[in-house]
């Protein structure tokens, strides 16, 4: 598979031309298992070879290790990617000063003097007012200075994103696990609203933090009721499984990748083989119409 097969689109009003499949940075920092610099660099190099030009990371991932490794991998190749990171780190107040410091430290780790996209990480941790007065105010200053080209916000809870879209404050939004085979609640209000406002949508965790695979993310085991509900929903999706282990991965990725209101679907991996396979699904082919209709009839308005 070469870069010619990769699909591209525009990321909302940023007008960045982005690959519809992006590389997520959490596994590159070792958040889902031990990872070496060599593994991370191999995956990032493979992503570029496959035509993936959107990389999304954060200082939270691996305590800065993900950003450091992305910086290493992009030496001499920075112009080939749309590079996105976030601010601030969980547990640090979202003040103006902390935000500027967070971005400054990210730039050093990433070995670059500008960011294509900076995003407020985990809106759940801060009120709308505090976000506006602190982190967003800092982002707007950095955008004016040309240090960042676009600004966005990130949240798992969809209602936290809505006011930022309605007020026209941000260029992008990022959510995760909310347009999947098991939970497609983003389509009810958020995606149409973002589309009308020309706000670019980035979607993480199309595999529902591993619930749509044979091995859910380790942190989920703290929430046995969520795993049980995931298993219940997975049984109802058996008609999509292609008679092999991890048979829901392809339909799950195709479901997100072909949603017209999602610009970038993130895949997070430290395996070149897995990345190459996921990139092969970015060919514009979605689920058969009757399968998509059935999926959308199973869990309407039911967040996981």
CB 171 within 8 A of CB 200: yes
According to DSSP, residue 201 is labeled E
Residue 227 has pLDDT above 90, yes or no: yes
Percent of the chain with pLDDT over 70: 99
Rounded Cα distance, 128 and 136, in Å: 10
Name the packing angle between helices 289-298 and 249-257 (round to 10°): 90
Burial 234-264 (b: 16+ CB within 10 A, else e): beebeebeeeeebbbbbbbbbbbbbbebbbb
Residue 3 has pLDDT above 70, yes or no: no
Please state which architecture CATH assigns to domain 3-298: Alpha-Beta Barrel (3.20)
Compute the CA torsion angle 65, 156, 207, 18 (nearest 10 deg). Answer: -70
- When pLDDT is averaged across residues 209-235 and rounded to a whole number, the result is 90
Question: What are the residue numbers of the active site?
Answer: 61
Domain edges within the chain? 3-298
For 56-96, how does the pLDDT look when each residue is reduced to its tens digit (9 = 90+)?
999 999 999 999 999 999 999 999 999 999 999 999 999 99
């Amino acid at each position: 598979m070469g870069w010619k097969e990769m699909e591209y689109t525009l990321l909302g009003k940023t007008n960045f031309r982005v690959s519809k499949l992006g590389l997520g940075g959490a596994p590159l920092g070792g958040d889902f298992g031990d990872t070496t610099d060599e593994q991370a660099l191999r995956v990032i190099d493979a992503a570029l070879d496959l035509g993936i030009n959107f990389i999304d990371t954060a200082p939270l991932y691996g305590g800065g290790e993900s950003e450091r490794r992305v910086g290493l991998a992009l030496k001499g190749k920075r112009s080939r990617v749309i590079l996105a990171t976030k601010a601030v780190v969980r547990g640090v107040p979202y003040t103006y000063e902390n935000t500027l410091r967070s971005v400054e430290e990210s730039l050093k780790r990433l070995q670059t003097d500008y960011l294509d996209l900076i995003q407020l990480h985990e809106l759940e941790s801060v009120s709308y007012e505090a976000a506006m007065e602190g982190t967003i105010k800092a982002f707007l200053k950095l955008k004016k200075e040309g240090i960042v080209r676009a600004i966005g916000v990130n949240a798992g809870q969809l209602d936290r994103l809505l006011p930022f879209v309605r007020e026209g404050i941000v260029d992008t939004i990022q959510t995760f696990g909310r347009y999947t085979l098991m939970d497609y609640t983003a389509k009810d209000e958020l995606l149409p609203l973002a589309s009308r406002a020309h706000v670019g949508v980035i979607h993480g965790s199309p595999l529902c933090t591993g619930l749509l695979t044979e091995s859910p993310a380790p942190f989920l085991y703290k929430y046995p009721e969520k795993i049980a509900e995931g298993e219940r929903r997975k049984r109802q999706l058996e008609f999509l499984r292609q008679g092999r282990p991890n048979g829901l991965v392809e339909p799950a990725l195709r479901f997100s990748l072909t949603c017209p209101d999602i610009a970038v679907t993130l895949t997070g991996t430290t395996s070149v083989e897995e990345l190459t396979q996921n990139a092969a699904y970015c060919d514009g082919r979605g689920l058969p119409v009757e399968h998509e209709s059935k999926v959308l009839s199973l869990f309407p308005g039911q967040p996981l």
